[in-house]
Amino acid sequence: MLEKLNIKLEQVDLAELPQFTKKLQEAFSIAVKEKFGTTDPIPSEKEVQSSFHSEGTATYHIVLNGKRVGGAVLTIDEKTQHNSLDLFFISPEYHSHGLGLAAWKAIEAKYPDTTVWETITPYFEERNIHFYINKCGFHIVEFFNEHHIDPNMPRQENQSAEPVPGTDTYFRFEKVMK
């Protein structure tokens, strides 16, 4: 089935970032809304913009037969080839058709020199956990929570504000390629 899916990765242009952000937030917000009832955009506009403009970032539309069905934000370290899947989504109307796995295979094919892929997902995102472990071959290597805080995750600017649900408790995954 995957070989029949004509998935391509197309670079996102700077002018397309607002629409890309909106689609990404729509996809990410579904599980948070179902689990916690919140309607705040996930991830925040600031977090998304930071991802787009970080060193080594590659931002792609996931395209199926000429139609944009999702997106991916990657960080590629040309020196170490320890690369990161920072943000990844398939638009909700295209879920459960094998597009996520086909898109992941396209990403792996585009970066064949990668030695390790890394990503994170919130603890409550069972669909993502299943996808990364059972479909893509990742392994959980770390569990971040209030007792084991990710030293690379920026702290909230306003510590008195309530954290966005699920953003402080998550798994880190790795997939060793070579």
Residue 130's H or E segment, with its range, is helix 126-130
CATH value at residue 108? 3.40.630.30
Confidence band for 87, pLDDT divided at 50, 70 and 90 = very high
Q: Which strand (E) or helix (H) includes residue 128?
A: helix 126-130
Which residue did the predictor score with more confidence, 147 or 79?
79
Q: Residue 107: phi, psi to the nearest 5?
A: -65, -45
Segment 96-122 mean pLDDT: 96
Looking at the 3D structure of the chain, how many domains does it have? 1
Residue 33: give the domain boundaries: 2-176
pTM: 0.86
In this structure, what DSSP letter does residue 56 have?
T
Residue 1 has pLDDT above 60, yes or no: no
Q: How confident is the model at residue 172 (pLDDT cuts 50, 70, 90)?
A: very high
